[in-house]
């Protein structure tokens, strides 16, 4: 308890955090630093809400019973959300930049036979074009400098197979929206709209709460 409180204080209030965060080239070090404590983003708290009321239940409800062959989770952290994909997919690949988070994800989900975890950076990891028929990206893309956003969006879009789905969850941010916190330069409005503008991607669900936005996009390209 005391150790955990001390680590939280260390992580949130030291110049080291600023140094690691400001330098986009050491973001692996920054996120490993954040994961010195478990569940740093308090996902368990969100998951402990009444069934159907937490933002992830609401996001996955948009899929309306869709079953995937091969799903991808981007920025999976400690794997606390991977079960959503594992339950509706034959195979799941989940990756995160933090090795520490990936180690915990592997441990937490070692009974699941259909999940593979990888350490990787969304800006560099390699997947085949159209490899996945469901891609889930939650609370990740507001971490990058705005000038990197369109390249990252292009990479993600390329992984989504024709006639398949991309599910997005991000916080709203007062810097580009009329609601949310002003913790980042931009939030769900900028991020989700960048995907919505991609040719061939049609919005099948778009829900706003005062704090977050849930968007389901369908890649309408025809299979060759
Ligand atoms: C705010 S957490 C979100 C965790 C979870 N997806 C959720 O919705 O709560 C952001 C996650 O993205 C990961 N991450 C940050 N930069 C990344 C990158 N360049 N490539 C892959 N993952 C990254 C972090 O390690 C962290 O686990």
* DSSP assignment of 116-161: EEEE--TTT----TT-EEEEEEES-GGGS-HHHHHHHHHHHHHHEE
- pLDDT attached to residue 149: 96
User: Where are the chain's structural domains?
Assistant: 2-34, 49-219
% helix, strand, coil for the chain, step of 5: 40, 25, 35
Ligand 1 mutation pick, 21, 26, 31, max ligand atoms within 8 A of CB: 31
Residue 39, CB-side half-sphere exposure with 13 Å CA sphere: 11
Residue closest via CA to ligand 1's atom 11 equals 75
Residues 91-120, mean pLDDT to the nearest whole number: 96
> Are 166 and 137 in contact, with CB atoms under 8 Å apart?
yes
**Cα of 95 to ligand 1 centre, how many Å?**
9
> Are 63 and 204 in contact, with CB atoms under 8 Å apart?
no
Residue closest via CA to ligand 1's atom 26 equals 77
The Cα 33–Cα 13 span in angstroms is: 12
Residue 219 DSSP SS3? strand
Kind and range of the H or E run holding 12? helix 2-12
**Cα of 143 to ligand 1 centre, how many Å?**
8
Residue closest via CA to ligand 1's atom 8 equals 138
What's the gap between Cα 1 and its chain centre? 28
- pLDDT attached to residue 181: 85
For the ranges 22-26, 151-155, 163-167, 214-218, the lowest mean pLDDT is seen at 22-26
Residue closest via CA to ligand 1's atom 20 equals 121
Q: Which residues line ligand 1 (CB under 6 A)?
A: 27, 31, 41, 43, 75, 77, 81, 96-98, 101, 121-123, 138-140, 143
Ligand 1 mutation pick, 96, 119, 125, 183, max ligand atoms within 8 A of CB: 96
25 pLDDT more than 60 = no
The dihedrals phi and psi of 21, each to the nearest 5 degrees, come to -75, -35
Q: In angstroms, how far apart are the furthest CA atoms of the chain?
A: 58
**Would residue 220 be called left, alpha or beta, if left means φ above 0 and alpha means ψ between -120 and 50 degrees?**
alpha
**Cα of 83 to ligand 1 centre, how many Å?**
16
125 pLDDT more than 90 = yes
Residue 26 DSSP SS3? helix
Residues 53-61, mean pLDDT to the nearest whole number: 97
**Cα of 223 to ligand 1 centre, how many Å?**
31
What b/e string do you get for 28-60 counting C-beta neighbours within 10 Å, with b at 16 or more?
bbbbbbbbebeebeebeeebeeeeeeebbebbb
86 pLDDT more than 80 = yes
Q: Predicted confidence band at 4 (pLDDT cuts at 50, 70, 90)?
A: low
CB atoms within 10 A of CB 74: 24
Q: Predicted confidence band at 223 (pLDDT cuts at 50, 70, 90)?
A: confident
**Cα of 41 to ligand 1 centre, how many Å?**
10
CATH number for the domain formed by residue range(s) 49-219: 3.40.50.150
**Cα of 224 to ligand 1 centre, how many Å?**
33
Average pLDDT, the chain: 91
Residues 20-36, mean pLDDT to the nearest whole number: 76
């Amino acid at each position: 308890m005391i150790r955990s409180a001390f680590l939280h204080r260390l992580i949130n209030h030291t110049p080291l955090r600023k140094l690691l965060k400001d330098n986009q080239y050491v973001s692996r070090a920054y996120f490993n630093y954040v994961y010195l404590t478990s569940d740093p983003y308090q996902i368990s708290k969100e998951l402990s809400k009444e069934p159907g009321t937490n933002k992830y239940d609401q996001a996955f409800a948009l899929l309306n019973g869709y079953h995937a062959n091969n799903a991808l989770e981007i920025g999976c952290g400690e794997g606390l959300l991977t079960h959503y994909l594992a339950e509706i997919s034959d195979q799941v690949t989940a990756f995160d930049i933090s090795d520490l988070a990936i180690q915990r994800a592997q441990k937490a989900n070692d009974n699941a036979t259909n999940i593979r975890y990888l350490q990787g950076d969304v800006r560099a990891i390699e997947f085949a074009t159209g490899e996945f028929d469901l891609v889930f990206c939650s609370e990740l893309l507001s971490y990058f400098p705005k000038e990197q956003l369109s390249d990252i969006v292009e990479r993600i879009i390329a992984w989504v197979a024709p006639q398949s789905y991309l599910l997005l969850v991000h916080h709203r941010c007062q810097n580009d929206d009329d609601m949310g916190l002003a913790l980042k330069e931009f939030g769900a409005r900028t991020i989700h709209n960048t995907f919505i503008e991609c040719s061939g991607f049609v919005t099948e669900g778009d829900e706003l709460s005062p704090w977050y936005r849930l968007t389901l996009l369908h890649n309408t390209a025809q299979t060759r």
